[in-house]
Amino acid sequence: MSNIPTPVKGARHIAENLSLYEPLRVPHFEFQVVFEQGELLLPTAEPEEDDNEFIDPNLASDVLRLTIENAPVPSYTTNSIQVWHGNVQTHFAGKPSYNSPLSMTVKEYIGRSSRQILRAWQNLVFNIKTQEMGLKASYAKTGYLIEYAPDWTPVTVYKLYNCYPEGVTVAEGNQESDADMKKNTISLVYDYFEEVEYNNPLPTVANN
pLDDT per residue, tens digit, the chain (208 aa), is 568 877 676 777 777 777 777 777 877 888 888 888 888 888 877 766 666 688 888 888 888 888 888 889 999 999 999 999 999 999 999 999 999 999 999 888 888 888 888 999 999 999 888 899 999 999 999 999 999 888 888 889 999 999 999 998 887 777 777 767 888 899 999 999 999 987 765 555 444 4
pLDDT at 94: 93
- Sign of torsion, CA 88 94 100 102? positive
Nearest-CA neighbor of 95 among 196, 207, 192, 208? 192
Q: What is the pTM of this model?
A: 0.81
Check if the beta carbon of residue 74 is closer than 8 Å to that of residue 158.
yes
pLDDT at 207: 45
Check if the beta carbon of residue 92 is closer than 8 Å to that of residue 81.
yes
> Which residues are within 8 A (CB) of 137 and not within 5 positions of it... i.e. 6 or more apart?
none
The CA distance from 185 to 169, in Å, is 5
pLDDT at 92: 94
pLDDT at 41: 84
Terminal alpha carbon distance of the chain: 52
Neighbours of 45 (CB within 10 A): 16
DSSP for residue 107 = E
**Is residue 200 helix, strand or coil?**
coil
pLDDT at 141: 94
pLDDT at 201: 53
pLDDT at 1: 55
pLDDT at 202: 58
pLDDT at 206: 43
